[in-house]
Chain A
Amino acid sequence: MPRSVLNNTVVPLLRQLTKKLGPQQAKNELRWMADHVRKAIPTKLTAEHATSARLWRDQPAPSAEETEVASKRFSSVQWAWLRQAVHDRVETNKPLQYILGTQPFGNASLLTRAPVLIPRWETEEWVLKLSDMIRAENTGLLNILDACTGSGCVALGLACALPRESVHITGVDVSHDACDLAIENLLRNKKAKQAVEFQRLDLNEQGVASELKSRGMWDMVVANPPYVTPNEYAELDPDVKDWEDVRALVPGDPMDVDQSGLSFVVRLAQLARELGLADGESTNLPRLVVEIGGAHQVDGARQAMHDNGFNLTEVWKDMAGIDRVVLGYHKT
């Protein structure tokens, strides 16, 4: 291939990204990709190579300013990565989080990998709000079950935002990929090491509740369960549909004709009751915290919680104004 100086410029990359994302977001994503490639593919050797190459040809070594300017430029390896990244992003709709491999979430930094669900900012928002609530209550050690944990974001987000010895969180997921990724994330965020554990578990199996109950007292169940309806799934962007696990998005089995997307929320409410969260004395903290897809699921979720003994329910909106979380309390 002819080597032209124009092979490695930012403008065609920006143009490609703008087609997909619009000008502002294209700039942002390119900047994040550039920041990532500088850290992931270091160029220290390039500077030494340039110096030795010059000296070999009996030319003066590059001056300090030259090396500084050159260190800001990308090496050919980095350019190759950038071109590949932009190609993937635009042609195959690979999500940026999968390309970069990481996503910040609260105080934690999480790895992301297909097909495990990418942590959303709405989830981050309510996890931090919940952790503020828990911190304010300042009760003893809370035993929390994080269902459908995926990358482990809810569990790790809570654990990193709360002081030690205030929570013990068990994250479960039906997918092996998710559990593997969650354990990697646990190793990555050492702050949560004592407070969190992950396990592969299918919550639809028989006897799950009694098995969990035998481990001890539970105080809370939190979850970001699948809540996309089958109809909505067909309309989703290829960014989501082609890359993220359908089990993380759409609840229920193939035999189920439930169009509300709430079947797993119902199952969680039942599970919470079976774990004994609908009994006991009332506290200021919710017993069941579940993320939902919007106003169309509020009534169904609240009803499911009421049916299972959680007599007081609350709804939180996210920063975009959409009903995002339903909380169930047990008040006597």
Chain B
Amino acid sequence: MNALRALRTRPMRALVRDVRLSGLLNTGMTQSYATTAQSKPALPPGSELAGKSNLTAKIHEKLKIMQYKHNKIMEQMTGDISGMEREDMARLAKEQSSMGMIVVPYEHLLKLYSELIELEQMMSADDPDLRRLAREERQEVLENVVTAENDIINALLPKDSAESAGAILEIRAGTGGDEASIFCGDLLHMYEKYAQLRKWKLETMSMDSEGDKIKEIVLKVSGRGVFGVLMFESGVHRVQRVPATETQGRVHTSTATVAVLPHAANVNIVIKESDLRIDVFRASGKGGQHVNTTDSAVRITHIPTGISVENQQERSQIQNRERAMQVLRARMYERERSRLDLERRASRNKLIGSGDRSEKCRTYNYAQNRVTDHRINFSMFNIEGMMNGTALQIVIDQLRIQHDLDELASMDNFDDISPPNQ
């Protein structure tokens, strides 16, 4: 878990850029909260000393409001509590703790800002020893500022509980015939190796393949935080190379589609038995003792939504049924989740995350040894490392940075920054 946290916050740290000392420090300090409340929202004093950060003025406004609300709740809780109901108390306590997760680092941040102001004054003192001391302390304070801002951002970003669960990974060959199927196999190899590195468990739910050529494969990936990492893989992966099946050495372009669904192991998706139609879709005549077929293919159709899943992976129809139900649950959960997601962020132009499955996401150009992710316009010149699974982490890191920035930016536009829901 700590390693994952480090993975997330490491890129964030890089975002807080250079310190800019402006000569207008003194004037900035004299502004107070009261005077700026009526005019456009401003940053708290001293924040400009910390350099450019991701917390814009609007976010600071919202945080101030949250701090005010938090203080009111604290007053209520420590004041006269005799008249309150038990459930009111519980509700207040819950609100206080969830708000506290944002407000406490925020208050810490404000304190750090005021420390920065003092240190500035010390920096222009006469004593050289004092100046040196001030400079060292300021370095430390700046690092603490970065940490506090990261804490606030982490607490503010909406947490998708699906991100911490496992995922179901579907890889399908697109255009390109045999070459596309071979590329599917290569992608599968990449994900297998990557999963090995991350110590995740892979299980094949269903596979339609001939040797190395895979037309379609559905995998279940189990581990912590799997979906949060793999969700950026959804989309169309394009490869440009000379195929193994090519006789004349021309470069071909083929595609493979990857879809990643959250695997909701214990999410409350209610699927009514009566809504399902289960059939063996290759029933042969009399059945029973008349035939000893090995065909145990099962198809489950969810009638209201029309989602249907087939499975013929195992030799027992009950095992096939179980697997098909798992995939059905995942698809229904994904449908529900993306519907909610869409409603929640209707006006935002979401680049990545659980984006549209038909959009081009990545190009693998073997001739130039280049992998380009189109959503963030990021290129890397290490195809072998990529297909080995070792370099995939780099691309995912970049995608995650962009994703978090987008989310943060979207919060700036909305009027509701709510405390994180556990």
Contacts and interface: CB of A to CB of B under 8 A. Distances in A.
A125 interface: yes
Given A118-B292, A236-B290, A319-B280, A124 B318 contact: yes
Contacts of B290: 228, 232, 236, 240, 293
A103 to B, nearest CB: 7
Given A27-B210, A319-B317, A320-B280, A97 B286 contact: no
Given A293-B288, A293-B290, A322-B286, A124 B316 contact: yes
Contacts of A125: 317-318
Contacts of A197: none
Interface string A298-330: 000000000000000000001111101000000
Contact of B289 (A29, A95, A227): A227
Contacts of B315: 32, 103-104
29 contacts: A14-B210, A24-B312, A25-B294, A27-B210, A29-B294, A95-B292, A96-B294, A103-B316, A104-B316, A104-B319, A120-B289, A120-B292, A121-B296, A121-B317, A122-B287, A125-B318, A228-B289, A232-B286, A232-B290, A237-B292, A239-B291, A240-B290, A244-B292, A294-B288, A318-B288, A319-B317, A320-B283, A320-B287, A322-B288
Contact of A294 (B209, B210, B283, B286): B286
A128 interface: yes
B294 A28 contact: yes
Interface of B: 208-211, 278-280, 283, 286-292, 294-296, 298, 312, 314-319
A226 interface: yes
B295 A25 contact: yes
Given A32-B315, A104-B319, A121-B317, A319 B278 contact: yes
Interface residues of A, number: 44
What secondary structure prevails in chain A residues at the interface with B?
A: mixed
User: 3 closest A-B pairs (Cβ-Cβ)?
Assistant: A320-B283, A104-B316, A121-B317
Contacts of B210: 14, 27
A217 interface: no
B104 to A, nearest CB: 50
B314 A104 contact: yes
Contacts of A236: 290
Among A25, A117, A125, A320, max chain B CB count under 10 A is at A320
B316 A320 contact: no
Nearest to A30: B210
A10 interface: yes
Contacts of B317: 121, 124-125, 319
